[in-house]
Amino acid sequence: MTDIRWGILGAAKFARQHLAPAIHAARQSRLAVLGTSDPAKAAPFRAIESTMRVVDSYDAVLADPEVDAVYIPLPNTLHVEWTRKALEAGKHVLCEKPIAMRADEIDALIALRDQTGLVAAEAYMIVHHPQWQQVRDWVQGGAIGDLLRVNATFTYDNSGDPANIRNTVDLGGGSLPDIGVYTLGCTRFVTGQEPERILYADIRRENGVEVTTEALAQFDGFTLTSLTSMRMTPHQNVTFHGSAGVIEVVTGFNPQVHGHAEVRLALPGQPTQIVQFPGVNHYVLQIEAFGAAVRGEPAYPCPLEFSQGTQAFIDMIWGAEK
């Protein structure tokens, strides 16, 4: 297999802005088919890839013999269903996060992945960015001594967009499903550890939708404070505070959109070491890593088991609500 021929289920805004351009830019990948019943929504995708074909249903994408892999940017509550359908149709699957609403839902997807021998993964792009690989090397290499505390914040404000699916209970809305995967998952990725228990969880809702969550989690030797919100000024920052230094990730989750990719290592009595990553696109790196896994090259660096661990963490926070 040379180029991976991609199909996209639905003309979602995120797919239009980020993943379709990434597929187009990635090596050995091609956007082949878009499933949408609205020709007007297909036009921006055709501007990205003029040879792309449009079919009028998701099932038609899955039935297309010229599609090797599908990207699923559907509402959260549809992710498990369409990931299953795509695997059963013989397609490799990259599904938007969260791939499931509960950790136990991922068991069946792991079993189906193993049964079919196909690649199935959550589109958790930050682990492909070299800034997070640098932070992981620093922390696990002892650059800041013993890790004592992580503070992770990711906020934005969509209060003016009540029709947004993130503000809809029935579609799996909420800040934890949308961006909690980043504050919680990045901590697991960097440290290689799992949370032991939730010490505190303040969950705030509007019209039944969780809009802000602040949680304190105990790990082995350190704590994580995670703040996610869909009702606060846009901001993101992560710090890893150790016994011998501090690491700061300035724009950890969507560099080139919110800010630039930069990590800082501050050690007492030394100049702060600053590492920047201009021009790095983690969506392109994600597509290239997925294609490599499909071709039997290095294994995909973010398997479903990792995604299940993050969802289990979210489930723990839900369970700790007062």
Q: In terms of domains, do 141 and 53 share one?
A: no
C-alpha dihedral sign at 101, 197, 265, 306: negative
Q: In terms of domains, do 95 and 167 share one?
A: no
Mark residue 227 as left, alpha or beta (left: phi above 0; alpha: psi -120 to 50; beta: remaining). Answer: beta
Q: In terms of domains, do 269 and 177 share one?
A: yes
C-alpha 266/C-alpha 226 separation (Å) is: 22
Tell whether the model's pLDDT for residue 145 goes beyond 90.
yes
**CATH classification at residue 248:** 3.30.360.10
The answer to the question of residue 310 being in a domain is no
Domain boundary among 62, 94, 123: 123
The dihedrals phi and psi of 234, each to the nearest 5 degrees, come to -55, 125
Q: What is the pLDDT of residues 172-198, one digit of tens each?
A: 999 999 999 999 999 999 999 999 999
Domain boundary among 123, 146, 168: 123
Q: In terms of domains, do 21 and 93 share one?
A: yes
Domain region containing 155 = 126-280
**pLDDT-above-70 percentage for the chain:** 99
Beta bridge partners of 302: none
* Residues in the chain, overall count: 322
Helix (H, G, I), strand (E, B) or coil at 121: strand
Please give the tally of structural domains in the chain.
2
Q: In terms of domains, do 259 and 145 share one?
A: yes
The answer to the question of residue 229 being in a domain is yes
Torsion angle, alpha carbons of 111, 112, 116, 121, to 10: -100
Domain boundary among 74, 104, 123: 123
C-alpha 203/C-alpha 127 separation (Å) is: 27
Q: What is the pLDDT of residues 87-129, one digit of tens each?
A: 999 999 999 999 999 999 999 999 999 999 999 999 999 999 9
Decide the pairing of beta strands 147-157 and 69-72: unpaired
Nearest to 241 by CA among 146, 126, 134: 146
Q: In terms of domains, do 184 and 276 share one?
A: yes
Q: In terms of domains, do 55 and 187 share one?
A: no
Q: In terms of domains, do 116 and 130 share one?
A: no
C-alpha 218/C-alpha 221 separation (Å) is: 8
The answer to the question of residue 291 being in a domain is no
Tell me the two tokens of residue 263: 């990590």
pTM of the model: 0.96
Active site (catalytic) residues: 97
The answer to the question of residue 292 being in a domain is no
Q: In terms of domains, do 182 and 117 share one?
A: no
User: Sorting pLDDT into bands at 50, 70 and 90, what band is 1?
Assistant: low
Return the amino acid letter for 118: L
- With tokens 């995670």, the residue in question is 226
Q: In terms of domains, do 93 and 180 share one?
A: no
> CB-based burial of residue 160 (10 Å sphere; 0-12 exposed, 13-18 middle, 19+ buried)?
exposed
- Mean pLDDT value across residues 122-144: 98
**CATH classification at residue 62:** 3.40.50.720
| Average pLDDT value for the chain | 96
ω into 98 cis (within 30 of 0): yes
Q: In terms of domains, do 168 and 254 share one?
A: yes
Q: In terms of domains, do 163 and 103 share one?
A: no
Q: What is the pLDDT of residues 198-221, one digit of tens each?
A: 999 999 999 999 999 999 999 999
Query: At 199, which helix (H) or strand (E)?
Result: strand 197-206
